A and B are shown apart, each in its own frame.
Chain A
């Protein structure tokens, strides 16, 4: 399988100010970096999850405060993409990851009962694996895996180029 023998991508890493337009360009760059190993559905999922995580930091951790920075790094693992996000904003409420229950769509009081928010953490939990949050001093550290269906996320040792690199 020549496809499995491609060189692994470098780690993606960007540090950028917590601003909605800069979040947009960072997540576009991150998706573009891994485009070749994803289906278009997986690329859409990656873009959505990153948007939810990063916009949460802009809106809640930094609560609209200017000057905060976000550090995003992504690497390829055997199961997909491992994403690490760090910021120096406020800790998560109660110091724990929000539960991510799906907001109720019951409309006993009519359309006005419909929720306009609360979907972000539901989508993040639903679309990621092994999500983990840690408050590390003044830093929030979030880590999760975006599973990729396609095999060959790790270059097998049997690949000619892998053994060539190994013996280098």
Chain B
């Protein structure tokens, strides 16, 4: 399970290096996230920009991490690829999570 955590802008950013969060690794993912989340940070941002595929087991694992962190801490998501975005949209989970296009937010170029 390839997860890389760093402190950034007051948040603990966890970058998922796996291409898939699916039934085959959902339990490992949950366990590793619990270990990583032992580091104190008010916000945890899960960066999914390398993840091409999430199934309902992977989605359930992400929800369980959110519940594990609550109520003291929040799980936010960033960098959803199109297929992953679709799963969150179909299940309406995109209404439950704060989702960033990227984290930290890329600065918009000055427009006139």
Other-chain residue from B59, B63, B82, B87 in contact with A41 (beta carbon distance below 8 A): B82
Q: How many residues of B contact A (CB 8 A)?
A: 27
Q: Is A24 touching B22 in the complex (CB atoms < 8 A)?
A: yes
Kindly list chain A residues whose C-beta atoms are within 8 Å of the C-beta of B24: 20-21, 23-24
User: From B74, which residue of chain A is reached at the shortest CB distance?
Assistant: A111
Tell me the number of A-to-B contacts counted with CB atoms below 8 Å.
82
Do A111 and B70 form a contact, CB below 8 Å, given A102-B91, A119-B56?
A: yes
Other-chain residue from B22, B64, B66 in contact with A51 (beta carbon distance below 8 A): B22
Taking the closest CB of chain A, its distance from the CB of B70, in whole angstroms, is 4
- How does the 8 Å CB contact mask read for B83-112 relative to A, with 1 for contact and 0 for none? 100110011110110000000000000000
User: From B95, which residue of chain A is reached at the shortest CB distance?
Assistant: A105
Q: How many residues of A contact B (CB 8 A)?
A: 32
- Where chain B touches its partner, the secondary structure class is helix
Q: Is B93 touching A105 in the complex (CB atoms < 8 A)?
A: yes
- How does the 8 Å CB contact mask read for A15-33 relative to B, with 1 for contact and 0 for none? 0000011011000000000
Instruction: Tell me whether A93 is interfacial, beta carbon within 8 Å.
Output: no
Q: Is A116 touching B60 in the complex (CB atoms < 8 A)?
A: yes
Instruction: Tell me whether A85 is interfacial, beta carbon within 8 Å.
Output: no
- Where chain A touches its partner, the secondary structure class is helix
Chain A residues with a Cβ under 8 A of chain B: 20-21, 23-24, 40-41, 44-45, 47-48, 51-52, 55, 58-59, 102-103, 105, 107, 110-112, 114-117, 119-120, 122-123, 126-127
Chain B residues with a Cβ under 8 A of chain A: 20, 22-24, 53, 55-57, 59-61, 63-64, 66-67, 70-71, 82-83, 86-87, 90-93, 95-96
